[in-house]
Structure 1
Amino acid sequence: MNTPTDERASSDTREAIMEATFRALSKHGYNDLRMRDIGEEMEMTRQVIHYHYDGKYDLMSHFLEYIIEQYEGSVEVDSNAPPREELDARIDQCLFGPKFDDFGHWDRMKVYHELFTYAQNDERHREIFNTHYGRIRSSITEVVEDGIERGVFRDVDAARMGQLITDVIHAARGRKLSLGHDDAPEETRAAIDEFILDSLYLDE
């Protein structure tokens, strides 16, 4: 039976492997990545990785889930916050990310985006990305529905609004990462305010 200490140690080991994977992927890219590259980024032996994961593919699948957990679990909005405040927080989180002590948001998004490009040929990874996309869209849709019910948002199709905002965010990420348009997130945030949110909010 695992004790709390054992579980904590296992969690710490997992995090160390995941963070080492971030660094290794950033240096080598997905195609050229070897397990030994990840091992070189850790203060543990490479055998620890093989003990926890059945090879590179299994590790990458868990790594994707780790990235997603970091972002989905880091939106902090007061349960009593007005819908406008919560919607702003969720959009900002998706565009600008949470704060990290090491290996910042766009470094992490670069790795995420590279793996995203391979998902079209990988059913398991595509399913992980689809689930993540669905949760982001749903979280935005739910805020829009709440705003409509409270009478502060116009009576729009909340699901389509959630999908539109989510798609615009993904396009901005891709433009920055693939095309090098560094101002894309800020420009997109301003466009969301002007062309989407201003038309969503009821006049106060």
Structure 2
Amino acid sequence: MSETESAAARSEAVQQIMRGTYEALCERGYADLRMVDIADRTDLSKSTLHYHFDSKHDLLLAFLEYLYEDFERELAAIAGDDPGERLRELVRTAYHDDDDGREELRVAILEIEAQAPYDDAFRDRLRRFDRLLHDVVRSNVEEGKETGRFRRDVDADAVATFVATALTGAHNRRVSLGVDTSDVETMLLDYLDERLVEDGSD
């Protein structure tokens, strides 16, 4: 096997492992997850998993990276010439994804988030999600200010912090408590219109 073929085989194995981790987390959750549960959902052996990842912890760190790349692509796919509409689409995306069949995964991720105060590696990975969301909101607000779409006195960092906090908090309440947080979407959209746009209208 050539070096290129070997790298491709490793890449395919890792992709299988990530897909298996996704399925196993959805079915078993974080606390009960075992390496064998992941292997059972792939064409690979448990020893092959350990060849790529020394422990469940290392594998889950890689899985968070995998999810981060997916999140990055999802945010990048929000297109359009108007930064205001892109921000509204970001909020809609966050609140209209309840029917995508990933509720079990969200519960498992919430379990991982609960470990973050005690685990620097988990915390660092999760901070990347928060920083990306914050930066996407901030860059859209800055663009809106530069193009005259938004008021120039708006603090882009403060808006980004508020939006990211509201989205994350509503998400966690929905997942952990089963609370209907759909009103938060409406209030965030109103906030974006009233706080950012000079006349409070499109």
Give 1:159's aligned residue. 157
Long gaps (5+) in structure 2: none
Aligned pairs (5 A) from 1:27-176: 27-75=27-75, 76-78=77-79, 81-97=81-97, 104-154=101-151, 155-176=153-174
CA offset digits 1:55-91 (Å, max 9, x no partner): 111111111111111111222134x621112212322
- Secondary structure at the counterpart of residue 74 of structure 2: coil
CA displacement at 1:161 relative to structure 2: 0.3
TM superposition score normalised by structure 2 = 0.87
Distance 2:23 2:183 in 1: 29
Long gaps (5+) in structure 1: none
Distance 1:77 1:146 in 2: 15
Distance 1:140 1:91 in 2: 10
Give 1:177's aligned residue. 175
Deviates more, 1:47-56 or 1:105-114: 105-114
Distance 2:167 2:121 in 1: 23
Structure 1 stretches of 4+ with a deviation exceeding 4 A read 97-100
After superposition, the CA RMSD in angstroms is: 2.2
**Which residue identity lines up with residue 11 of structure 2 in the other structure?**
S
The answer to whether structure 1 residue 2 and structure 2 residue 3 are counterparts is yes
**Which residue identity lines up with residue 194 of structure 2 in the other structure?**
D
Number of equivalenced pairs: 197
CA displacement at 1:36 relative to structure 2: 0.9
Distance 1:53 1:98 in 2: 31
CA offset digits 1:66-125 (Å, max 9, x no partner): 1111111222134x621112212322334445997xxx3433322222211111110111
| Equivalent in 184, 189, 193 of residue 193 of structure 1 | 189
TM superposition score normalised by structure 1 = 0.86
